[in-house]
Structure 1
Amino acid sequence: MSEFRGEVSIVLGGAAGQGIQTVEGILTYALKRSGYHVYANKEYMSRVRGGINTTEIRVSSRRVRAFVKRIDILVPFKQGVLSWVAHRISENTVVLGERENVEESFLDSINLVEVPLTKLALETGSQLYLNTTAAGLIVGLFHGDFGAVEEYIRKRFGSKGENVVGKNIEAAKKGYELGVKLCEEGTIRVEVERDEKVREEILLSGTEAVGIGALAGGMNFLSFYPMSPSTGVSTFAAQHAEEFGIVVEQVEDEISAINMALGAWFAGARAMVSTSGGGFALMSEALSLAGMAENPIVIHLAQRPGPATGLPTRTMQGDLNLVLYAGHGDFPRIILAPGSMEEAFYLSAEAFNLADKYQVPVIILTDEYFVDTYYNLPKPELKKVRFERHIVEAKPGYRRYELTEDGISPRAVPGYGEEVVIANGNEHDEWGDITEDAKLTRKMQKKRAVKKLETIRKNAPLPKLFGNEDAKYLVVSWGSTLHVVEEALEKLGRDDVALLHFSWVYPLNPGTKRFFEDKTVIVVENNITGQFADLLRKELGVEVHHRVLKYDGRPFSVEEVFDALKGVVE
């Protein structure tokens, strides 16, 4: 008998086009509705058909929010899956599937539980129902709520007619009954405690968290050119455009996208563009226009490995330097990098207030791992979201680029007030007219690049500390590495190791430096050079003693971070 207690890590593997995402959708929805904590993340090759894609689903009695290397139950839908994940298979892994989907070289070394998925699908009417049968099988192992399976199938396939819905429910039921039977016969035993509060929680992906947060922040215009892994935010906005009364435009290229958004802000809208590293590179000149014209803009950048096309469907935290230094000339910007769905929601909403207030580009940095991850969480509290407008009336004597002590000039929009409102990409005087006066140029440069930056810096929030302030070791995470480091430290179980998480990445509040005093500093990040570690040294003079880096296009696993940290502290 194979027995799993407290938590199960399930991996589904197959070719693109085999319906792996359908199984993932059924499982996460039904098991969450059954009272289990769930976490899911996918990895997929850059192809429409074929190849090997996998999905990891963790089902637990406690909150789980990070990727693990361990596989408890593996469900292969084609040959080649076991070879692809061989480094993750252990003697405790149960391979649940058909013999024909297992390579010969593995047959003598794995715990194979054969299940006739194809036979059951054909009994239902077609091999097309194989994935739904498999989903039912796994829900059955947990004795999950089959009503939730039916509910999901009706939502997912309702537009295809009652016959398709009925057949999928029938297929899922056959799988469910087989899963229950495997437990009753003692082949597999799953004992995971339910949490009734989970039933009422929501399932949210990184893509959805950014999209919903932007809507909560008052976004009413989004322009984009498709580029994975960022496109999901744009399609999410498009799907809800009519409901929320927003404009979503797919344009001919990224240059058009950012210039449309700049124009929308100038006219009084709250606009965002969504892109990836290559698309952002094309936006560099317009970013400088935003800097000179002091025009707000919110940019969501979902990172993937570069340079160039790189690995377009995989993950990396390699674009921090790109967004830090993009654009010619000196001008401030704000960089945010959420590490949780909650942070993605609240920071995406706040990004619009920040852009409006400081009149600078605000960049939300996510990555493929983050946008494609989802898990259950309590509903965000909308009352915590502030909606701020920083627009003034252009009364007689209004000066768009008035020289101020904090570097922030009053911003009006055309049509609100008597005065003409000017935005200028050339150097300008306080009214916005072009100037080449040397003294005035120095004042304007200082206003933008020094005074405004210092205002933002002193108002920047401090990072979040988890653990003992007096800990000897300080582990630093930023963006999507939060949960994997958090769980690794929980597993490490040492009081002398604390975690400092940055979701506000730039500019850094000078008060942040106190967290690093008398500490051995370890930075964990998904890139080859340690870009955030370099930023800490540049901004705060912090010496980073150890860099834990990963740069193969895959996310960190809890086990990898645990081993790396253990190697440092022990």
Structure 2
Amino acid sequence: METSKNLSVLIAGPAGAGIFSSSVTLGKMFLRHGLNVFITNEYPSLIRGGHQWAQVRASLEETVFSHQKKVDIVLALDKPSIEKHTASLKTNGIIICDEEDASSLAKNNVQIRAFPLRKIIKEMNAPSVAINSIGLGIIVGILNGNIEIAEKLYDEQFRGKKETADLNKQLFKMGYEYGKELSNSFQGYKLPQQAIYSGKEKRLLIDGNTAVALGALSAGLTFFASYPMTPASPILHFLAEIQKEVGIVVFQPESEIAAINMAIGAAYAGARSMVATSGGGFSLMVEALGQAAMTETPILIVEVQRPGPSTGLPTHTAQGDLRFVIHASQGEFPRVVLAPGDPYQAYVLANRGLNIAWKYQVPVILLSDKYLGESYWTVPDFPELGIEEPKISRENVGGFFPRYKITEDGVSPLVFPGTPGSLVYANTSEHDEYGFGTIEPSKVKEMQDKRLRKYRLLREEAEKHGIETIGDGDIVVVTWGSTKQVVLEALKGVSGVKLVQVIWMEPFPKNKLLSEIKDKRLLVIENNSTGQLASLIRENLFREPDGLLLKYDGRQFFPEDIQLWINSYLER
């Protein structure tokens, strides 16, 4: 991969040192210089303490899809960070640290640049977390960036807090002057001052979790319930912060079981509802998933994956829940499982998922992962997406309404409690058209057939929208979720390879996928230990992959490793 066309910075230190907020601030500075930006992070599952890091990549010449192994600059906010990340430096890379941390850590062939960071903070009577502003100033100075961009950003970031903004701008400027002294000696990527972002391009620097929330809002979300669970919690935090502004109800109940039951109840009453959780929380929601299916109540469930089983690795990433969500709950019923691979898709599929739930009256599961949920990408401004009107009846029947009316497409007219002249009865046991319980064999079969007839139209949608194809070649790499982004990074400069991302996991777009892989060498890459997408391909297409690359240590792939693996097949 070309490294001269992009820049990579790693910020590392202890928990509570402002690592993540600083990485986003730096990413916004790069964005306003006109660059494409990507940010990811790693942190332990600890309330206090532990080592954290965030990597910020940027490029003017190309789209940046993922992290990489080597970085140009490390901002180390404590001594352990120097020790941990020295090996991550490129040949001409620089470590920036406090002079106290560097005193006993001089290393051969490593450029360590030490500054009196903590001394400055003490003299300025500034909070310890403000050390990041000095560090960011040094970085932007080394890169010969535009200081006015940073100053304007701090004013926006601390709007209404002039003293705080002025302090951070002052600290940044001090760091910037230090960095300028090193600018000529730094041989890496420099910021292009002539390409300053004007805002007219309407680009976003956004994480997958926020994109999901915005997509659901665009589809008319009015009720959201969630019990905090990493890495899905940011969806709750974001929606709770803006709920009054956008006019929705956001509620944190006592458990995941309560959250999904509240959402189902709200949807029964006519509110477009969503819940968000991770694998452990979804495990608790499984019985209610069946309830939504039997009562044909629309609901969107966001499942942001992390490694399991049990508590697993709460703050890391994985793609191990695919089979679980496809088969969760007892019995047979139609469901939809969608898997976005980037924030733009997360926005579009959250909108589409909520609309599908109401159009077909089925549970829809949006399957994300930690890497997608908590990483940031530069994406085009989101389009305006609307609300698809479901099949709603306002008929006055003067009694019980046939809520589960037998229809050709399996979708019965919706009616909500409070509709004049209609009584609405929902039943989690098998029932007739009016919702009254039944064990009559013919009625049981009739109702099951009705629900399953929804699959015909859902399969048509899956075949139409179920995959995304990029490039062309005799080798086809099939992947899903956020792994798509790392594969795209790996494929830079590689020819003769087609990338296929499976987006609809259930129903599975088997005919469309078959047309893309027919008579091609098939490689599958995914972030789990058993090859769950590969097993779906085997089940639906009777096709074994010619190569299968798996990773399941709680981390997303490095693009360098994927590129080496793909090249080994190109050379055969």
1:425 has 2:428 as partner: yes
Matching residue within 458, 463, 468 for 2:467: 463
Structure 1 counterpart of 2:174:
174
Q: Is residue 276–residue 301 contact of structure 1 (8 Å, CA) maintained in 2?
A: yes
Matching residue within 246, 249, 259 for 1:244: 246
Report deviation, 1:87: 5.1
**Structure 2 CA distance for partners of 1:189 and 1:180, relative to 1, 3 Å:** farther
Structure 2 counterpart of 1:368:
370
Amino acid at match of 2:502: F
- The equivalences for 1:44-59 within 5 A come to 44-59=43-58
**Structure 2 CA distance for partners of 1:360 and 1:321, relative to 1, 3 Å:** same
**Structure 2 CA distance for partners of 1:189 and 1:329, relative to 1, 3 Å:** closer
Structure 2 counterpart of 1:42:
41
Secondary structure of 1:41's partner?
strand
CA RMSD between the two structures: 2.1
Amino acid at match of 1:430: E
- The equivalences for 1:60-99 within 5 A come to 60-61=59-60, 62-85=62-85, 88-98=88-98
Matching residue within 402, 407, 411 for 2:410: 407
Structure 1 counterpart of 2:146:
145
CA-to-aligned-CA distance 1:159-211 (integer Å, 9 cap, x gap): 6x443332221111101122222114x35554344645674422211111111
**Structure 2 CA distance for partners of 1:165 and 1:105, relative to 1, 3 Å:** closer
Secondary structure of 1:479's partner?
coil
Structure 2 counterpart of 1:284:
286
Using structure 1 for the length normalisation, give the TM-score: 0.93
Structure 2 counterpart of 1:451:
453
Q: Is residue 465–residue 499 contact of structure 1 (8 Å, CA) maintained in 2?
A: yes
1:213 has 2:215 as partner: yes
CA-to-aligned-CA distance 1:238-279 (integer Å, 9 cap, x gap): 111001110001000011100000011111110000111100
- The equivalences for 1:476-555 within 5 A come to 476-491=478-493, 493-495=494-496, 497-512=497-512, 513-555=514-556
- The equivalences for 1:21-420 within 5 A come to 21-61=20-60, 62-85=62-85, 88-98=88-98, 100-102=100-102, 107-126=107-126, 128=128, 129-158=130-159, 161-184=161-184, 186-187=185-186, 190-193=189-192, 195-196=195-196, 199-200=199-200, 201-382=203-384, 384-396=385-397, 398-420=401-423
Structure 2 counterpart of 1:16:
15
2-structure distance, mates of 1:542, 1:454: 24
Report deviation, 1:472: 1.7
Report deviation, 1:149: 2.0
1-structure distance, mates of 2:191, 2:236: 37
Amino acid at match of 2:275: V
Amino acid at match of 1:353: N
Matched residue count: 559
Q: Is residue 306–residue 316 contact of structure 2 (8 Å, CA) maintained in 1?
A: yes
2-structure distance, mates of 1:553, 1:122: 38
Q: Is residue 466–residue 499 contact of structure 1 (8 Å, CA) maintained in 2?
A: yes
Amino acid at match of 2:46: R
Q: Is residue 257–residue 285 contact of structure 2 (8 Å, CA) maintained in 1?
A: yes
2-structure distance, mates of 1:102, 1:65: 33
Q: Is residue 305–residue 318 contact of structure 2 (8 Å, CA) maintained in 1?
A: yes
Amino acid at match of 1:148: I
2-structure distance, mates of 1:85, 1:214: 39
2-structure distance, mates of 1:162, 1:467: 50
Q: Is residue 33–residue 197 contact of structure 2 (8 Å, CA) maintained in 1?
A: no
CA-to-aligned-CA distance 1:17-53 (integer Å, 9 cap, x gap): 1121232132112221122222111111111332110
User: Identity over the aligned pairs, expressed in percent?
Assistant: 37
2-structure distance, mates of 1:300, 1:79: 39
Using structure 2 for the length normalisation, give the TM-score: 0.93
Q: Is residue 67–residue 556 contact of structure 1 (8 Å, CA) maintained in 2?
A: no
CA-to-aligned-CA distance 1:68-97 (integer Å, 9 cap, x gap): 112121111112224434553443432222
Secondary structure of 1:80's partner?
helix
Q: Is residue 27–residue 37 contact of structure 2 (8 Å, CA) maintained in 1?
A: yes
Q: Is residue 69–residue 88 contact of structure 1 (8 Å, CA) maintained in 2?
A: yes
1-structure distance, mates of 2:527, 2:309: 15
2-structure distance, mates of 1:503, 1:196: 35
1-structure distance, mates of 2:445, 2:317: 42
Secondary structure of 1:191's partner?
coil
Secondary structure of 1:528's partner?
coil
Report deviation, 1:409: 1.8
Q: Is residue 32–residue 196 contact of structure 2 (8 Å, CA) maintained in 1?
A: no
2-structure distance, mates of 1:388, 1:375: 32
Report deviation, 1:104: 5.3
CA-to-aligned-CA distance 1:472-528 (integer Å, 9 cap, x gap): 21101211111111121123x222x10001222211234222212112111111111
Q: Is residue 80–residue 102 contact of structure 1 (8 Å, CA) maintained in 2?
A: no
Secondary structure of 2:437's partner?
coil
Secondary structure of 1:175's partner?
helix
2-structure distance, mates of 1:150, 1:555: 34
Question: Which ranges in structure 1 are unaligned for 5 or more consecutive residues?
Answer: none
**Structure 2 CA distance for partners of 1:188 and 1:182, relative to 1, 3 Å:** farther
User: Does 424-433 or 111-120 show the bigger shift?
Assistant: 111-120
User: Does 531-540 or 307-316 show the bigger shift?
Assistant: 531-540
Report deviation, 1:103: 9.1
**Structure 2 CA distance for partners of 1:510 and 1:24, relative to 1, 3 Å:** closer
Amino acid at match of 1:561: I
1-structure distance, mates of 2:188, 2:434: 74
Q: Is residue 86–residue 95 contact of structure 2 (8 Å, CA) maintained in 1?
A: no
Report deviation, 1:459: 2.4
Secondary structure of 1:283's partner?
helix
Secondary structure of 1:407's partner?
coil
Amino acid at match of 2:430: E
Secondary structure of 1:534's partner?
helix
Amino acid at match of 2:363: P
1:434 has 2:433 as partner: no
Secondary structure of 1:377's partner?
strand
2-structure distance, mates of 1:545, 1:477: 14
Report deviation, 1:561: 1.2
**Structure 2 CA distance for partners of 1:134 and 1:105, relative to 1, 3 Å:** closer
**Structure 2 CA distance for partners of 1:474 and 1:46, relative to 1, 3 Å:** same
2-structure distance, mates of 1:45, 1:202: 28
Structure 2 counterpart of 1:556:
557
Report deviation, 1:393: 2.1
**Structure 2 CA distance for partners of 1:127 and 1:447, relative to 1, 3 Å:** closer
1-structure distance, mates of 2:151, 2:109: 37
2-structure distance, mates of 1:514, 1:395: 49
Q: Is residue 474–residue 520 contact of structure 1 (8 Å, CA) maintained in 2?
A: yes
2-structure distance, mates of 1:494, 1:255: 49
1-structure distance, mates of 2:21, 2:422: 57
Report deviation, 1:111: 2.5
User: Does 97-106 or 506-515 show the bigger shift?
Assistant: 97-106
